[in-house]
A and B are shown apart, each in its own frame.
Chain A
Amino acid sequence: MNYTFQFGVLTDYGPYLAWGLWHAWWTSFPAILFSTLIGVALAAMSMSRRRLVRGVSIVFVDLFRTLPVVVLLIWIHYVLPILTGASFSPTASSIIALSLNGAALACEAFRGGLEAIPQTQAQAAQSLGFSRWKVMRYITLPQAFFATLPSLTNVHITVIKNVTVTVLIAVPEVMFRAQELTVQFFRPLEFYTGAALLYVALIWGYTVLMRMIERLQKWQPI
């Protein structure tokens, strides 16, 4: 093997590559937000007394965490318009696909967090007159939030990494640009390594943010 790395191309085209982070962030940030919100709702639904409500949650989770994200993305971007006539921009399709997948993963993270809260907490609240909904809203969810944060961070990281598959429908994020540049300059190893470093930086920055949020917890479980 005698390959000579020429990382010099990155000094010329690095900024173009890095600008892809802007698109990666604006795809992953809404997807993180939606998957978290839908995930909370699904987790609450999985605790419902109604079988139908629990069933919807289970079917959703099992469907969207088993489907390969690539297929989900292609269905939403190409098949959905054929079936319904509604079409989305590449970024919007990506946000939808990543949110559905992320929500299924987030639901399981929240369910783990919710189940870690002892039943006695709900009983104490009920004895004070809290309805089931208010127990969830004021007692269980706020505690579960912090219990869930570490695994939720993992889910969010998965969502961010999944942005790399949006290259398939030409969202101009980092991986798409790396591909573009590779075709032009035949330097795949340099450009993909550069793309990897950019994603590492993005995700590392995100985990630092999440650790700061974890530190907001002033209380300890007893």
Chain B
Amino acid sequence: MATDLKVVPAMPAAPDFIRIQDVHKSYGAVKVLNGISLDVAEGEVLVLCGPSGCGKSTLLRCINGLETINSGAITVGGRNVGTATPGELQSIRLSTGFVFQNFNLFPHMTALQNIAIAPMKILGHSTREARDEGRRLLARVGMADKADSYPFQLSGGQRQRVAIARALAMKPTVMLFDEPTSALDPEMREEVLQVIRQVHHDHGMTMVVVTHEIGFAKSVASRAMLLDAGEIVEEAPARAFFANPTQERTRRFLRAIVND
């Protein structure tokens, strides 16, 4: 069963790295995504917001192939997620780093091992190479002194910073953040947001971020979007989206989270 999947090299950079066309998804009778179409170009930072249960996390998970869609199409770097062979799905996942709401670090590995395991076992890097790169990444997220700590010894904010470094270690083209700060205490949120800002700043990394952090969204996002009941309510350049939204639904949502 030890199928060593061949990593298919990424296609030449297309203008729209992620293309989502009329995607529908339901869990039984519950429609979660109801005809979503959206493109993400390289270098762009797209912020997705919306009330809980609106489908924003599901959409993100579908891009990564962690969930399957019922109809429509999602392509990442020119490869169709829905019809991908295991090898293609792997290269889609290698090009899309995923950061989870609850971090999902591997508890049986130290911070450094968490970061080095995938480059070693998936990309075939040597232990030394993977660990050196891992230490560099830990330093970048301000965790150089915690390389040998296990996740249970780290705070929530520290865990999420390690998780970001773990995703970056695979050198993805785009980073998908699924509510990266919502499981954190308020004072830990800023340290994580700072790391995400820096990742964008250093590399111009393409990002899709599900978040309710308005301040962060305003400062980093190039485009913002409101999802409700599985549909796109409003989509606009970030500045316009937050300054003068055109839809009443968006205004109501933004008021609610600002007062929150």
A219 adjacent to B121 (CB under 8 Å): no
Give A72-99 as 1s and 0s: 1 = Cβ < 8 Å from B's Cβ atoms.
0000000000000000000000000000
A120, A126, A129, A134 interface centre (most CB from chain B within 10 Å)? A129
Tell yes or no: B98 within 8 A of A by CB: yes
Q: Which residues of A contact B66 (CB under 8 A)?
A: 123, 126-127
Answer yes or no: B93 CB below 8 A from chain A CBs.
Answer: yes
Interface of B is mostly: loop
A129→B94 contact, CB < 8 A = yes
Q: Give the contacting residue for B170; candidates A120, A129, A220; CB below 8 A.
A: A129
Contact B86 A131 (CB under 8 A): yes
Tell me, yes or no, whether B84 is within 8 Å of chain A by CB. Answer: no
CB of B237 closer than 8 Å to a CB of A = no
Type the 1/0 row for A101-136, where 1 means its CB is closer than 8 Å to any CB of B. 000000000000000000011011111111101100
Closest to A120 in B: B104
**Would you call B137 an interface residue if the criterion is a C-beta within 8 Å of the partner chain's C-beta atoms?**
no
Which residues of B in the span 156-200 have a Cβ within 8 Å of any Cβ on A? 159, 166-167, 170
For A129, what are the chain B residues with a Cβ–Cβ distance below 8 Å?
A: 7, 90-91, 93-94, 118, 122, 170
Q: What residues of chain B have their CB less than 8 Å away from a CB belonging to chain A?
A: 1-3, 5, 7, 64-66, 86, 90-91, 93-94, 96-98, 100, 102, 104-109, 117-118, 121-122, 150-152, 159, 166-167, 170
Residues of A within 8 A of B (CB): 120-121, 123-131, 133-134, 138-139, 142-143, 146, 218-222
13 further A-B contacts with Cβ under 8 Å, apart from A130-B121, A131-B90, are A121-B104, A123-B66, A124-B104, A126-B93, A127-B64, A127-B98, A129-B170, A131-B3, A218-B150, A219-B108, A221-B107, A221-B152, A222-B152
